[in-house]
Amino acid sequence: MRACLAGDGGIGNPSSSTHYFGKLAADLIEQARSDIAALIGADPRELIFTSGATESDNLAILGIARGRGDHGRHLITSRIEHKAVLDPCKYLQKRGWQITWLEPQADGLIDPEALRRALRSDTQLVSIMHANNETGIVQDIAAIARLCREAGVLLHVDAAQSVGKLPLDVHALDIDLLSLSAHKMYGPKGIGALYVSARARPWLEPLTYGGGHERGLRPGTLATHQITGFAAAARLAANRLHRDAEQAASLVHEFKRNLADLAGVRFNDYREDHPERRLPGLVSVTFERVEGESLLAALPEIAVSSGAACDSASGEPSYVLRAQGVPVEWARSTLRVAFGRGNTTEQARLAATVIRRAVLQLRDRDADSVPAAVLAPDVVWAVGEAGSYREGMRVRCYLACDAHGRIAAVGFRAFTCPDLWRVLQAFERQWLGHRPEIADLGAPAQWALQFQVPIEKLGRLIRVEDAWRAAKEALESKHSRGDTRP
């Protein structure tokens, strides 16, 4: 890529092949096209360059919808696809298309028989991913493709996660459209491709227009340096495929072995006795009674995500795990851990060690025991509770009063996010010395401003107020009964 950017290969427009610089760029691109096509068993002429798998998915789904809309308006996909597939399907649904959303089985696999039952005379396309980006579960694409051929329906496969990691031959599998992305195989970001079979080509319409590049399917000047980088990554992946897979599988085994004795751990990938049904380096692991956002914040030493990497900032439980029937409280407490070419056995052990430490610390914050400060001599205490694991926030407020009726201690146990922990720690100091009945709490909306808590977490702050009021009422009830016992 550096040589291309700094040398003659990056100067010319590959579409202007009448001069030396343009011809050199065009030659580099066509050689790259051949190298990338070889990785998936395709003819180079069947490969269209895009900006990545997201664009490829959109081109495949919306392009076929445009080209086949007059023949029928039914499309089949699954609930566990990447957002780059789900969102174009939802777009079509708003415009009159009927979408069948296949549900995965508990093991994450799509049942081919469910697909067979969903196929209709007006079905134009089936879109099922090869390997899931959150769980690593690998679908039986060969069986799905056979059903599509029998029904005369086109098949699109999002293979961004699997190309370069698992053997894949588009002709042997009889796939019509296949999306891939360079950065998923250690190539540069911002470049990908769409494989288009001869069967699908007449029906695929472009999404944008202007210049007729890439056989009229994707206009715009091609980025020679990105494409050559993509090809270099594809060549390396082809040469290292089995070696990389064995290394990644070994690292996953070591990681899981070091977490095996930790209670309340659930691995969401397919059974290890079926290695052909899972990506070798991806682990989806759930920790019961641990809030996911707090867990991520407690792991600065390692790079992991909660759910899909491009979706982990939302704070919402994984829709993939929810579709598999994983309870919402577990889905909120799930990490996506990926091991690759640059990782070592020592790093796999380190990942397990720091995750174990963080899990135990967070569970201790939510322990059933009473905080030590509340158990001081000569105090009366009570507890109030609000929220639940299912709603992503459970808090218990412990209030202790001395003989003069003043608050002697405030303690919290909670399953919650880091933003709320800052609030709880401040509150443990703020109310000391007050009488419970006159303690000025303010309002949750004021707390959000004071502690810079995102307003979408206001509901969690209200739960803190609920727990405080429940504890205060329990304490007042004790006093009214003359109950001075702890």
Residues 457-482 pLDDT 10s:
888 999 999 999 999 889 888 877 76
Contacts of 303 (CB under 8 A, 6+ apart): none
Q: Pinpoint the residues of the chain covered by CATH 3.90.1010.10.
A: 372-480
The total of other beta-carbon atoms located within 10 Å of residue 458's CB is 15
CA distance 9 to 33: 15
pLDDT at residue 83 is higher than 90: yes
Q: From CA 399, how far away is CA 383, in angstroms rounded?
A: 6
**Which CATH superfamily does the domain covering 241-365 fall into?**
Aspartate Aminotransferase, domain 1 (3.90.1150.10)
- What pairs with residue 287 in β-bridges? 265
**Residue ranges in 104-157 assigned as alpha helix (H):** 112-118, 141-151
CA 439 to chain centre: 43
Q: Point out the catalytic residue in the list 4, 148, 310, 397.
A: 310
pTM: 0.89
Angle between helices 20-39 and 224-257 (to 10 degrees): 30
Q: Is the pLDDT of residue 312 over 60?
A: no
Diameter over CA atoms, the chain: 98
pLDDT at 373 > cutoff 90: no
The letter for the amino acid at 204 is: L
Residue 437 pLDDT > 80, yes or no? no
Q: Cβ(415)–Cβ(394) under 8 Å?
A: yes
Q: Is 310 a catalytic residue?
A: yes
Residue 311 has what pLDDT?
44
pLDDT class of 138 with cuts at 50, 70, 90:
very high
Q: Position 314: which residue type?
A: S
Q: What are phi and psi of 180, to 5 degrees?
A: -145, 160
**pLDDT value of residue 7:** 86
Is the pLDDT confidence value at 306 over 70?
Answer: yes
Which fold is adopted by the domain 2-237?
Answer: Aspartate Aminotransferase; domain 2 (3.40.640)
Query: What region, left, alpha or beta, does residue 405 occupy, with left being phi > 0 and alpha being psi -120 to 50 degrees?
Result: left
At 432 the pLDDT is 79
Residues of each domain in the chain carrying CATH 3.90.1150.10: 241-365
Q: What region does 185 belong to: left with phi over 0, alpha with psi -120 to 50, or beta? A: alpha
Q: What stretch(es) of the chain map to CATH 3.40.640.10? A: 2-237
Give the CATH number of domain 372-480; options: 3.90.1150.10, 2.130.10.10, 3.90.1010.10, 3.40.50.300.
3.90.1010.10
Q: Are strands 192-196 and 47-50 parallel, antiparallel or unpaired?
A: antiparallel
What average pLDDT score do residues 421-425 get?
90
> Among residues of the chain, what percentage have pLDDT more than 70?
94
CA angle, 62 as apex, 37 and 82 as ends, to 5°?
Answer: 70
Provide the mean pLDDT of the chain. Answer: 91
**CA pair distance 40, 43, nearest whole angstrom:** 9
